[in-house]
Each structure stands twice: as C-alpha cells, then as structure tokens.
Structure 1
Amino acid sequence: MISVAMAVYNGEKYLEVQLDSIVRQTKQADEIVIVDDCSTDQSMEIIKKFQGKHPNIRVYRNKSTLGYKKNFREVIRLCQGDLIFLSDQDDFWMPEKVHIMSDIMETHPDIQVLASSFEFMDADGKSYSVKLRKGMSNNNLYLKPVQANSLVSVTFDEFCSHNYFQGCSMALSKTAANAYLANWTDRIPHDWLIALLASHENGFYFLNKPLFCYRTHSQNTIGIPKGKKAEEWVRLKFAEDMRDAMTTVRDIWPEEFKKSDVYQKRILFADAHIQALHNRSFWDLIWQNLNPVYHELKSGRARLMDLYFVLFK
C-alpha cells in the first residue's frame, strides 16, 4: 500500500497544481493523507474539491496551529501505507515519480528511505537551473559528485554534519516512519531526523534523477532572513545545525555518542565556532582553521568569508 503524506498551511496559491500532479501519477497512491494546519485561506476548499473526485484523499484539520514539524509528524502518523511519500504543498511531481521510486524500493528491500533529485522552478512555475559546483550533486545540496541516474548510499556520518535532501524528495518505508515517530524531536527538521535514523541503519539512498520540481518563492517554510541579518544567519547556520544534529544523536544513541571522540569533538567545535562568530573573534577563527571539524563543516571559501564577516560586518 502506498501513501502520500501532505502537510498544508495556507497553500491556496500552488496547492491545486501540486495535487493535480499527484493524482495524475502513472502509478497511483492508495491514499493521499492531508493534514491542514488551520489554514486561513482557501486551502480546505481546494482540497475538498479534489476529494470529491478522488475518494482516496483523506483530510484532517488540526484543532490549533502546530507548525510544520509537528504537522508532518501528524500526517505521517495517520498514513497506513507500507511506503509513504512526503509531499510539500507547492511543488510539482513528475508523472513517474511514484512508479520509479516505489519500484526501486521493492527491488531493494534494504532501502528504508529513498530521496530523489529535483529541478528548480520559480513562483510562476518556470524551470531554472543552477551551475553545478565541482564535487557536488543534487543542485549543489549534496557535497559529493554522483553520476546522473545513479543510486548511491548516503552514510550516517555524512548526516551528522549536514542535511542534504528535502523531505519532499523522500519516500519512507513503514520501518523508517515508525522509527521517526518513536524518536521524534523538534530540535531538527523532520527530513534531517528521518535521514539520521535511516542512515544509522545503512538504509538511506539517493537517486540522482530529478523526479519533481521544487518551487522557490517568498513564502517557503524555511527561508533566509533579509537585510543585515542574512549574512549572520548564513555564517551561523552550519555550526548551529551541526550542534543540533549532534545533540539529537546524543539523545537517541547516548552510549554510542559517549564512545565516539568524533561526535564529541563536533559538538564542542560547533559551540566554540558559534561563540567566535558572535564575539567577532578573528583570532579564534584563525585558530579554529587548524581543526579538521571546521574543514568538514565549511569549504575554504566559506571559512574565508567567516573571517571577512567578523572583521567588516
């Protein structure tokens, strides 16, 4: 049984396009589960219109606004499928997304979570591309080169430093969904938690084939601050993310964390790096450049920009 899990909040502008792309899949989902997080626009009316034509759509509405992390937990909890596709409200699925990904997971039962690549599209639905940087893939989100159409495993250690894949790119086995629900935390985004848990069991894989269009617009759930705060946000984000990820690892696998010098060094470095950036400490950053965790966290260019930030911003 295949489920689609969609979390909705004030999605009227793009919701119809996304729902239409889901119901037009070459391989149909058995259920499309939608949880509306108390939208104040026409989202519920749009959903009900689709539900009238597609009885496999199940709709729920929260009693109060939960926020996207808790809302995704709720919609995943309500899914009954052995395979669960996560869906944003504003993207567009290519017609064979469900078919291709479900076939791969049937053929490879060791895969707990499968993420696909994507294409960018703007607010008007026009596709655009970004220049692929050397040594990267997945529109520069994954810090490793992967050949087109290849299927590769992504390790737990990689996810301890960075999150590379959006939730909307993922299909989850029931095992992965249950692990996520059992270990839920709002410390990190739902997709990163899912990735950590699956990769810990050697069950996270990436298919470097674009199977959906990821829409970028001013109302994306996770956005970059504007103005003067943007630069500080960019400088701090990677270290804060590493700290939060390692804290999550410590909470879920405490004995494993205690035994690992690597994990402890990461969390100590992240705290020290955040402090150095807050204090605008040039010499602390120079000293930190001797730490291999800094090289793991940021590229050479990013480390130079940290120095520029503390001196001139």
Structure 2
Amino acid sequence: MQQLPLVSVVLATYNGERFLEAQLDSIVRQTYSNLEVVIVDDCSTDATPAILGNYANKYPFVRVVLNENNLGYVRNFEKGMLLATGDYIAPSDQDDIWHLDKISTLIAEIGDSDLVYADSRLIDEDGNSLNMVISDVKPVQNFDNCLAFAIWNTAPGHAMLITKELVRQTTPFPTSLPHDHWLCFVATFRKPIRFVPDVLVDYRQHSQNVFGITHRVDGVRRPRKQKTEEQKLREIRERIQLLYDKCPAELTEQKEVLARLNQSYKSFSLRNNYIRMMTFFQNRDKLLASKKRSAYRKWLFCLKMFVKIR
C-alpha cells in the first residue's frame, strides 16, 4: 500500500488562548492520517504556551517551538514553514475551526499545482454561522495569471494547501505584504492555482483578527491600524516594485504590465497618471480579477486610477 505524502500543518500563534483549543482539536482530528503539526509561538504572554505544551505531550506528531523574540506574523509563518518536513504545507490561523476532511480533500485536489484553496464559512466569536461564505463576497476561482494578485489577494492562507517547493521559491517572505498574498502571486508562475468549492474552514470573525473579511464584528466596526497617506503610498510603491522584481522575465506580458505600473506609481505626474489609468483599462479583467465587481464598476475603478494609486 502506497504511503500517503506527509502534510505539515504550520500554525502560528500569539496570545491565542481564547480560541486555540477549538482549532487544535479540529487539526489533530483530521481524517488525513499522515500529518505533522508544527506550531511556532511568537512570545505569547497568556496561556497559549501552556495549551500548546499540553497538546504536544498528548500527540507525538505535534511539535512546538517557542520564539525567544517576537518576529511578527509574517516571519513567524516563514519560520514554521521552513521547519516543516512535509512535501505539502497547510498554513493555519489560531482562531478558526477546520472541517475534519479539509486536508484529505485538498491533497486529493492539488494535482500538479503548487497551491490549492477552498471556500470558507464565516462564523462569529461564539462559533455561530454568519450565513455567509467567502465566495459570496470574493471572486474565488482558479487563477493562472500573477496579475490577478498585483493589487489584492482573494485566496486566503487559512484555506490553502501548498507545496514545499513553493516555500523554497518564496522565502525569505517580504514583510511588505501578507504571506498568503505573496504565495499566491508566485504560485501562478508555473501552474494555475486551483480552487475547490467545498467549504472546509469555519473562518472566525472577531475584533482581534489580524485580517478579516468583514468590516464589522457584532455591529462594531473592526479596528484598523491608522496610517498616514505618505505611509500608504510608500507601502504600495514598495509592493509593486517587489512584484515587478519577482516576476520572471519569461512571463513577458505580465512583466511588461508590472513595469508600466511600477513606473506609473513613482509619482502623480500627468504622464504617470495617464499610463497608470490606461494600464488598468487595458488589463482590467486580470488586474481586478480578485475583486467582485461589475464591468461598469471595473471601468470606474480604472478611471479613478488617474488620480489615485489604489
């Protein structure tokens, strides 16, 4: 009988005591039998380390690493993925609940792609359904062009399975954009990203989410880190430069589009404004593929790019 490939679940934790046990239970009870669970804790000050220690003592396939210094969530995930020994890696947030067939379903669907992801159901802080799935608000689908991830990401890390090879291609992770966004951008270089329409994760929405798909939680607007316009512009310019530099030369069409965008993002000169607007118009179906917008709203967005960067 052929051995199932090893899948490494990589869980990054930080002060996650409130929801952590529900997520860990859903991971260790997966129907897929050949798992290792690599957990990297980023200097939690609550009961998270104690909870992790209990699971490591109970389950021999659970390995816990306690950071000496706080790395931040991107570097924490990177560390966990580099410690993973499986051919496939499933990133995990600390506050969701996985359906028990998540890994077995994704491993059956990944094929020769470097990344596969599934749909998710939104739940509130108490685990109650919000009667919404991510596909209600995002255009989740197969993607075969990196331009779909030039501006936004629509394939969430909590619902994906990736190859170890993709980690090799993407590390070190840049800290100027989320790790799942970076993984998706690079994954399209060789093979299409695959979408599985099954709902395989209960995606918890609460006020302490690093990222969330809803703007409000229990009627209260989700707090956002306030940034100045100068900070926003600098970050966006850094991102587009990063994506342009990473895009391989053999992807000539994508490289040229990113080159034009990169140039147009340098300043708000009339020339750059025109280049940016026309680049969006000419490539709107690809560049706006990660936004659920009508053709009319895509047209308006492109027009807006004459006076805005994003």
Q: TM-score range by the shorter chain?
A: 0.7 to 0.9
In 2, distance between residues paired with 1:113 and 1:239? 30
Given that 1:240 and 1:270 are in contact with CA atoms closer than 8 Å, whether structure 2 keeps it comes out as no
Change (3 A) 1:240 1:212: farther
Equivalent residue letter for 2:151: S
Partner SS, residue 188 of structure 2: helix
In 1, distance between residues paired with 2:109 and 2:236? 31
In 2, distance between residues paired with 1:236 and 1:119? 36
Shift of 1:292: 4.7
1:205 aligns with 2:194: yes
CA deviations on 1:238-296 (whole Å, 9 max, x unpaired) are: 98776444322233247468984311222244455xx69xxxxxx99x97995351654
TM-score (norm 2): 0.77
Query: How many pairs were matched up?
Result: 282
Shift of 1:221: 1.3
Given that 1:249 and 1:257 are in contact with CA atoms closer than 8 Å, whether structure 2 keeps it comes out as no
Residue 127 of structure 2: aligned partner: 125
Change (3 A) 1:23 1:290: closer
CA deviations on 1:146-167 (whole Å, 9 max, x unpaired) are: 5xxxxx3442221223211111
Change (3 A) 1:257 1:156: closer
Residue 114 of structure 2: aligned partner: 112
Change (3 A) 1:87 1:29: farther
In 2, distance between residues paired with 1:238 and 1:170? 28
Residue 3 of structure 2: aligned partner: none
Shift of 1:34: 0.2
Given that 2:264 and 2:276 are in contact with CA atoms closer than 8 Å, whether structure 1 keeps it comes out as no
Q: Which of 69, 72, 80 is the equivalent residue of 2:77?
A: 72
CA deviations on 1:175-198 (whole Å, 9 max, x unpaired) are: 1122122x5321221111111111
Change (3 A) 1:194 1:237: farther
Superposition pairs of residues 131-150 of structure 1, within 5 angstroms = 138-142=135-139, 146=141
Residue 19 of structure 2: aligned partner: 14
CA deviations on 1:110-130 (whole Å, 9 max, x unpaired) are: 211111111101111111134
In 1, distance between residues paired with 2:143 and 2:277? 30
In 1, distance between residues paired with 2:237 and 2:95? 30
Partner SS, residue 175 of structure 2: coil
| Structure 2 unaligned residues grouped into runs of 5+ | 1-5
Equivalent residue letter for 2:135: N
Q: Which of 240, 243, 249 is the equivalent residue of 1:246?
A: 240
Shift of 1:53: 1.6
CA deviations on 1:30-67 (whole Å, 9 max, x unpaired) are: 21000000000000111111122211100001111000
Equivalent residue letter for 2:258: Y
CA deviations on 1:79-121 (whole Å, 9 max, x unpaired) are: 000111110000000010011111223xx2x211111111101
| Structure 1 unaligned residues grouped into runs of 5+ | 147-151, 277-282
In 1, distance between residues paired with 2:237 and 2:26? 37
Higher helix share: 1
In 2, distance between residues paired with 1:103 and 1:254? 29
Partner SS, residue 135 of structure 2: coil
Q: Which of 163, 169, 176 is the equivalent residue of 1:179?
A: 169
Change (3 A) 1:165 1:242: farther
Partner SS, residue 147 of structure 2: helix
TM-score (norm 1): 0.76
Change (3 A) 1:237 1:194: farther
1:193 aligns with 2:182: yes
Superposition pairs of residues 1-313 of structure 1, within 5 angstroms = 1-105=6-110, 108=111, 110-130=112-132, 138-142=135-139, 146=141, 152-181=142-171, 183-222=172-211, 243-253=237-247, 255=249, 260-272=255-267, 291-293=278-280, 296-297=287-288, 301=297, 303=300
In 2, distance between residues paired with 1:140 and 1:240? 28
In 2, distance between residues paired with 1:5 and 1:290? 40
In 1, distance between residues paired with 2:124 and 2:92? 18
Partner SS, residue 251 of structure 1: helix
Partner SS, residue 200 of structure 1: coil
Given that 1:92 and 1:214 are in contact with CA atoms closer than 8 Å, whether structure 2 keeps it comes out as yes
In 2, distance between residues paired with 1:69 and 1:162? 17
Shift of 1:202: 1.7
